[in-house]
Structure 1
Amino acid sequence: MERMGETAKASGLIVHTRNFKMRLEGPTSGKTGNLAVAIEVFEVVPSLYMVDVRKAFGDTLEYHKFYKSFCAYLTDIIWITPAEAENKQTMPLLGQ
């Protein structure tokens, strides 16, 4: 939770944390209002957590931009299956 909060603050979002829930709010208004993101953390087993990240309010495109950059900062703690890792390595980049 702490690492996600630091990442959100670095992106310029206002962070509200309570228990295993976090609410991120954009300081400026977009096309459809301030972006608000809800994050909830679930403990699957003591060493594995599932994080639910969803748009609570605001522009969908702005949310997708936030989500991509948010995940990019957290790649070292995000677990992916070996099949997903293989697909990422073999997938060609757009424009090449």
Structure 2
Amino acid sequence: MLSSEADPLVGWSTDEEWRADSTYAVIVAKLLSNDNAFLSWFPHQYTQRTLLARFQMNNTSPPHTHFFQKPVYNVMALLSMLGETEVHSSITYRDGED
């Protein structure tokens, strides 16, 4: 069994704390083909696999929705500005350091 969506975890609506912070942005940067075209649902607006946190204001007149950018949105925006540019990087480990 495999996930053809390039998702590090099967189930886009699964509530995961790491999807709310910069950890998710780093993972998406590694998986450029990640599909984030989903809308989050209550009560996991920040922790589902989405670029934006969505808050539906259903008890207002008229009902409306607010969207807030998650860190992963900014990473995707920055990556879109690279164009044809390749970024080369490396990590050097020294004895006893991670």
Q: TM-score, normalised by structure 1?
A: 0.28
Between Structure 1 and Structure 2, which shows a larger proportion of strand residues? 1
The answer to which structure, 1 or 2, has the higher relative contact order (CA under 8 A, 6+ apart) is: 2
Q: TM-score, normalised by structure 2?
A: 0.28
Q: Which entry has the higher C-alpha Rg, 1 or 2?
A: 2
